[in-house]
Every structure is written in C-alpha cells, then in structure tokens.
Amino acid sequence: SYIDVISTYAYLSKNKNYVRPKFSKTRTIEIIEGRHPVIENSLVKNGQKFVPNNCILDNEAQTWLMTGPNMAGKSTFLRQIAISIIMSQIGCYVPAKSARLGLVDKIFTRVGASDDLSEGLSTFMTEMVETSRILNGATVNSLIILDELGRGTSNSDGLSIAWAILEFIVKEKKCPTLFATHYKELTNICDNISNIKLKTLDTKKWKDEIIFMYKVIEGIAEGSYGIHVAKIAGIHPSIIKRAQSILKDISEKKNNLEVNFDNSSKINEHDIIKEKVSDFIEIIKAVDPNDISPREALDLI
C-alpha cells in the first residue's frame, strides 16, 4: 500500500508538473505560481488554463487581508494554499513553480455558510462556534484561513467582530493567516498593524462588464460586484437594472438613506430585448470569419 501511494504521487507529480517543496525551520510559507490541483485539472479538460498566483507569508507579512469581488477567485486561492501544504506534508510534490514551507501543525478553516438547525444553531451561531474553536486551538505554527467572517449579522456587528478577531490573531496567535472579507472598512486596521498586507483580485472593466483576471495583486478591491454576479447567474434584467438604481441612491445618500420607490409596475420587455440584440450585434461585428477556426466558430455559436 505504501508503494502504491508513493508511486501514485510520483506519477501525478510528473504528469501534472508538480514541484518538490523545500522545508525550513521557519514559519515562512512561500509558494510561487501556485495552482489549485482539482480546478486546474477541470480547466485543462475543457482546454482552458489555470492562472497561477504567489503567496508569501513571513514575519514582515504574517497576515494577508484579502478583499475581492465575488467570483474573482478569492476562495479558490485560499483553498489552493491549504491543499499545497497538506500535499507537501503527506509526501507529495505540490502544484507550483517552487515552494518553501515551514511545518504546519494544523490548518484551521472557516469557509462558506452553513447551519446546524437540528442542534438549534443558526448560520451565524455555527460560524461563531467554528471561529471560537479556531481561536482556542490555533498555535504559532498553525495556518488559519478565514473567508467572509461576520457576514451573518448586521454590518456594524459583523465588522466589529471581524476586526476584533483579526486583531487577536495578529497580536496573540501570531500565526500565518489568510483573512478574506467584503468589509472594505476592515482594511483601516493596517494603520496600526504593520505586518498585515492588503491583497485583492485583479479585474478589468469593459463597457458595462467586469472581466475577472484571477490574479492576486496588492491593494483593496473597488467593490464586490454582487450585481454583476447576479446578472451572470441569470437574474431578470429588470431586477438588475433596478438594483443598479438602488445602489446608486445608496452610494449618493449614504447615511441619509432614502431610496426612491419604483412606481412602474410593468416591465419594458422591448427595451430588454433591444439591449440583448444590441450586444449580439456588437459581438458579430467584432468577428472576422476568415480569422477563426471551425472550432472557434462553433464556440461562438
């Protein structure tokens, strides 16, 4: 069984272009051009390429505070770091160009939303119970990954809890941490703590569309682009248009919130169809039939 496992590691490492990690006595996590092995495999099958990213956590940047749009690849990045560390410590090469790692005693994660109603635990209560276990169990040699902490309650409550927990981890636990959030206000914590680095996912704007580049960069996200994600998911165009209008009202009035009520009861389907046809025509105009292959033509259709 041992030979079977090790030979499988060797087969995967050679065929998937994995690299042998180097171990150090420090708590440094340095993964250069890291990839997510499962998602990369799915993309390759569909003829696509996974976008690799670097992750360097050391004494100068012990914690990464990541803001980023929905669907931009933030959660994928968090998971691939944890997976690479697990792979390295069970004796397998890792999906990266290079990796230098310290030994990790445990990986603590709080990712996604779930509840345990049979035990009388709401989504937010479950989140707090899991976070409590992390804060009590983590050591200086652990890796903590927190994704969207404090989202199950009001904005002010959630932000306050997330801020206090992040402070506690940095000052008391002092272990490598990846902390993802939609609370842009939380980035102000860097004014008082130097070894937190601000990271986000790169995006490009083209006309009214958002293009996700899936690349981790320095900085703070411009927004969460939740309405854009709703549009991709197929939410009715009239709802998207109304949501954009409400968001504009909220952004302009901020503390003095007074959203104008939409009295129009009938959806203007003609405008919606006209907009879709217009987009379609722009796509067709951009295509030169002489420059595309039969496969590209089928993909376009």
Q: What is the pLDDT of residue 274?
A: 67
Q: What is the pLDDT of residue 114?
A: 64
Q: What is the pLDDT of residue 265?
A: 45
Mean pLDDT in runs of 10 for the chain (301 residues)?
A: 95 96 94 96 90 94 89 90 96 97 94 65 84 95 91 84 94 95 90 92 80 90 81 85 85 60 54 69 82 82 80
β-pair type (107-110, 53-57): unpaired
Chain centre to alpha carbon of residue 122 = 24
Q: What is the pLDDT of residue 209?
A: 76
Q: What is the pLDDT of residue 219?
A: 92
Q: Are the C-beta atoms of residues 195 and 62 closer than 8 Å to each other? A: yes
